[in-house]
Amino acid sequence: MLTDLHVLDLPEPEKHNLGIMSVCVCVSVIWANQLTEKIERNLSSIQRKFLLSITGAYHTTSTASLQVISGIPPLYLTALKEAKYFKFTKLQEAIMVSNQQIDPTTCESIIKGHQIHPAEFNIDPQISTKEEQQYPIKNSTFTDGSKPDEGTRSAFCYFDNTASIIKEWRGKLHPDNNVFQAELLAI
C-alpha cells in the first residue's frame, strides 16, 4: 500500500518521479529509441495531468510551462535518457550522444561492492599490538579530529626526511560536524 512506503509524505515532484516516471520509463529501453511524434504527445498528455496537480496551475497553462515551473523534464526525454543509460551500462552497447558515438569499452566501468571477501582479508598483519620505542616520523603525515566543548576541530602535519615539520594546518569546523567528519577533512 502507498502509505506503507510513506509515499504520501513526499513532496509532489518526488511523488511524480516515483509514480508516473517509474511506470512509463521502466521498459523505455524497448521503445524509446524509436520515439514518434505521436508517442511524445501521448507521454506529454499523461504527464500533464500530474504537472497540473503538482503546480496547481490553471488548465490553460501549456505543458512546457508546467514542466519549467515544476522543474520536471519532459517524460519522453527522461525515457530516452534512461534507455540510453541502460543500453550503455547494462547491455554494453554503443550509443549516440550529440552526433558522436560513445563506445562502452572505452569508458571506465563502475566497480560496485567489495573487491575482496571479508573472510579472505587477513587483518592480523595490519594491526600491531606491541609498543614501539620510537615511532618513525620521517615522511609521515599525522591527522587528528576532535570535538571538545568549544566545537569540532581538525588538523594535520607532515614531516620530511629530516623529521622536521614541512606543512601543518588547523581548522575549526561547524559545531554540528562530528569527529568522523573532522578526521576525513584532515585526511
pTM: 0.49
The CA distance from 186 to 165, in Å, is: 16
Residue 78: which pLDDT band, with cuts at 50, 70 and 90? confident
End-to-end CA distance of the chain, in Å? Answer: 45
Residue 154: which pLDDT band, with cuts at 50, 70 and 90? confident
Q: What is the pLDDT of residues 169-183, one digit of tens each?
A: 788 877 777 777 777
SS3 101: strand
Nearest by Cα to 29 from 76, 83, 93, 77:
83
Average confidence (pLDDT) over 147-160? 78
Element (H, E) at 156: strand 153-159
| Residue keyed to cell 529501453 | 29
Q: What is the pLDDT of residues 81-94, one digit of tens each?
A: 888 888 888 888 88
pLDDT number for residue 7: 44
Q: What is the pLDDT of residues 6-40, one digit of tens each?
A: 444 555 555 555 556 666 666 676 777 777 888 88
The CA distance from 33 to 81, in Å, is: 10
Report the phi/psi class of residue 8: left, alpha or beta, with left for phi > 0 and alpha for psi in -120 to 50. alpha
- Report whether 85 contacts 32 (CB < 8 A): no
Q: What is the pLDDT of residues 105-152, one digit of tens each?
A: 888 777 676 677 767 777 776 666 777 666 666 667 777 777 777 777
- Report whether 115 contacts 137 (CB < 8 A): no
